[in-house]
């Protein structure tokens, strides 16, 4: 055996033990809950800093034209998992019950694509697609996840001090006063470490509940920010789940800052762990949000400029309700400090991951892989003819609002109101409706909305 071949075999052996595989990179996908386009300092937030999350932009790529799957939680996450846009997806609004949000078992969804490629898969946090613990119901474990740790339902995820959590289908009581979010992140970090040390490629999905609903955070951080914003100590938050030690009902402004600082610290821990485990260069980390900024739990998106000036918030289809931050970091593959305006949406994540790990794109998917953009080949990046959304507010899932993004143009229609048209290149904040001056574009957008909508079948 020549010296060159021996050195090569030794290098490959070391790389395998360190969890490195050129064709099977690890993936960590962090999904914030109701985080607005302007809530991160790398997207312009001035009232607080997010230096660790900003590292993803500094050392990777920032997307300025990325959109969530919908304007509320469950349907947006369903788009992420199925790769279907919201005119085809089986759920188009948050339902009153949990069961109706369950994924369709006939589909091949995101974690199942990773499983088919030999990955170990874990989900940690708020599922949002049905119960996570009931026998006989669909849950994360029935859709390709090897491990799940987090809230038992979307409703209970309004608080960070629940009475129990679920681990692999089993409900476990937690000690009163436990800030569960930190336990969720600890479990995710343990999952990463266990798989990296064993040399197993992993997909770690972290759908954190931050900064959704109750403005809960560890007490010491909350008290720190109360000193910064004492003028809001009399402000009352909406969610309080018992006698938790977090004074969120007094100052949800401080609570938001504290929970964001805590999350940012944990993202820093995650990045440090990847480096310590020698899998940093073989791990793609993506950070995004399931929809735009919210107004719950006493959160004040106007004070924080959570939308970055974009019009609207969660529950509407203006830019502030569906435009979300997305950051991607993969040292050695994604060039540091890149910004892209490529138009993408949650339905693109599934085909991107399939292409990344050499798996076929599931037939139901509507998305387009943005892997060429991540790899620095923007000239080879396919683009959408248009992006489409629809949102429902009732049990029948009838259309409440619709939107289309086609190049620089944005169409918005709510119920029976007339369509609005905006030129986002000249008017990113949707201040001037141009519909009456371009009737041919209105007709085109109406045709797109009609073609993109598929009536829901009974489940």
What are the pLDDT digits (tens) for 26-46? 999 999 999 999 999 999 999
What's the chain's average pLDDT?
Answer: 92
- What average pLDDT does this structure show over 55-83? 98
pLDDT given for residue 19 in this prediction: 41
Give the CATH number of the domain where residue 218 resides.
3.40.720.10
- pLDDT bin (cut points 50, 70, 90) of residue 438 is very high
Q: Are 332 and 375 in contact (CB under 8 A)?
A: no
pLDDT given for residue 298 in this prediction: 87
**Look-up: residue for tokens 């369950």?**
102
pLDDT given for residue 86 in this prediction: 97
pLDDT given for residue 235 in this prediction: 77
d(CA 227, CA 235): 14
Q: Which of 365, 289, 325, 284 is nearest to 26 (CA)?
A: 284
The continuous run of DSSP H or E covering 27 comes out as strand 26-32
d(CA 48, CA 52): 12
On whether residue 414 sits in a domain, the answer given is: no
On whether residue 332 sits in a domain, the answer given is: yes
Per DSSP, 341 falls in state: -
- pLDDT bin (cut points 50, 70, 90) of residue 8 is very low
On whether residue 409 sits in a domain, the answer given is: no
- What average pLDDT does this structure show over 239-255? 65
At residue 26, the 3 state secondary structure works out as strand
Into how many domains does the chain fold?
1
On whether residue 151 sits in a domain, the answer given is: yes
Q: What is the pTM of this model?
A: 0.93
* CA-only gyration radius of the chain, Å: 22
pLDDT given for residue 416 in this prediction: 83
Around Cβ 381, how many Cβ atoms within 10 Å?
A: 17
- pLDDT bin (cut points 50, 70, 90) of residue 240 is low
Question: What are residue 238's phi and psi, to 5 degrees?
Answer: -80, -40
pLDDT given for residue 244 in this prediction: 53
Q: Which residues contact 140 (CB under 8 A, 6 or more apart)?
A: 111, 123, 127, 132, 148
On whether residue 32 sits in a domain, the answer given is: yes
Q: Please give the angle made by the CA atoms of 354, 20 and 17, to the nearest 5 degrees.
A: 135
Domain that holds residue 98: 23-385
Please give the share of the chain, as a percent, with pLDDT higher than 70. 92
Cis peptide before 211 (omega within 30 of 0): yes
On whether residue 458 sits in a domain, the answer given is: no
pLDDT given for residue 98 in this prediction: 84
- What average pLDDT does this structure show over 113-142? 94
On whether residue 318 sits in a domain, the answer given is: yes
What are the pLDDT digits (tens) for 304-337? 999 999 999 999 999 999 999 999 999 999 999 9
d(CA 19, CA 42): 30
User: For the chain, what is the total number of helices (H) and then of strands (E)?
Assistant: 12, 16
pLDDT at 238 over 90: no
pLDDT given for residue 249 in this prediction: 54
- What average pLDDT does this structure show over 386-405? 95
User: Of residues 21 and 115, which shows the higher confidence score?
Assistant: 115
pLDDT given for residue 22 in this prediction: 55
pLDDT given for residue 99 in this prediction: 83
pLDDT given for residue 245 in this prediction: 55
């Amino acid at each position: 055996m020549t010296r060159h071949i021996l050195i090569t075999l030794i290098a490959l052996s070391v790389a395998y033990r360190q969890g490195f595989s050129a064709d099977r990179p690890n993936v960590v996908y962090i999904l914030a809950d109701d985080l607005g386009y302007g809530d991160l300092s790398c997207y312009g937030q001035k009232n607080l800093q997010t230096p660790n999350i900003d590292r993803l932009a500094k050392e990777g790529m920032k997307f300025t034209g990325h959109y969530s799957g919908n304007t509320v939680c469950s349907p947006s996450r369903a788009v992420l998992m199925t790769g279907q846009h919201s005119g085809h997806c089986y759920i188009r609004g948050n339902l009153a019950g949990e069961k109706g949000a369950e994924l369709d078992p006939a589909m091949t969804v995101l974690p199942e694509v990773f499983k088919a490629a030999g990955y170990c898969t874990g989900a940690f946090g708020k599922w949002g697609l049905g119960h996570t613990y009931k026998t006989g119901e669909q849950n994360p474990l029935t859709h390709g996840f090897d491990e799940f740790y987090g809230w038992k339902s979307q409703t209970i995820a309004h608080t960070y001090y629940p009475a129990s959590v679920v681990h692999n289908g089993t409900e476990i009581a937690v000690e009163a006063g436990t800030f569960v979010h930190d336990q969720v992140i600890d479990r995710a970090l343990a999952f990463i470490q266990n798989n990296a040390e064993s040399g197993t490629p992993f997909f770690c999905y972290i759908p954190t509940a931050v900064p959704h609903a109750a403005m809960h955070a560890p007490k010491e951080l909350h008290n720190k920010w109360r000193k910064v914003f004492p003028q809001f100590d009399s402000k009352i938050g909406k969610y309080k789940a018992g006698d938790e030690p977090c004074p969120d009902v007094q100052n949800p402004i401080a609570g938001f800052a504290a929970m964001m600082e805590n999350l940012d610290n944990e993202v820093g821990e995650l990045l440090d762990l990847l480096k310590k485990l020698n899998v940093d260069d073989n791990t793609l980390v993506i950070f995004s949000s399931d929809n735009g900024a919210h107004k719950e739990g006493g959160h004040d998106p106007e004070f924080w400029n959570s939308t970055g000036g974009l019009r609207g918030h969660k529950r509407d289809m203006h830019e502030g309700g569906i435009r979300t931050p997305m950051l991607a970091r993969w040292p050695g593959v994604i060039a540091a400090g890149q910004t892209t305006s490529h138009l993408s949406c949650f339905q693109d994540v599934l085909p991107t991951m399939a292409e990344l790990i050499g798996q076929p794109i599931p037939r139901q998917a509507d998305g387009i892989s943005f892997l060429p953009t991540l790899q620095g080949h923007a000239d080879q990046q396919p683009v959408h003819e248009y992006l489409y959304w629809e949102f429902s507010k009732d049990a029948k899932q009838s259309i409440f609002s619709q939107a289309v993004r086609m190049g620089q143009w944005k169409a918005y229609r709510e119920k029976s109101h007339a369509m609005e048209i905006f030129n986002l290149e000249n008017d990113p904040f949707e201040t001037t409706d141009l519909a009456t001056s371009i009737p041919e574009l209105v007709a085109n957008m109406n045709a797109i909305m009609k073609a993109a909508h598929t009536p829901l079948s009974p489940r």
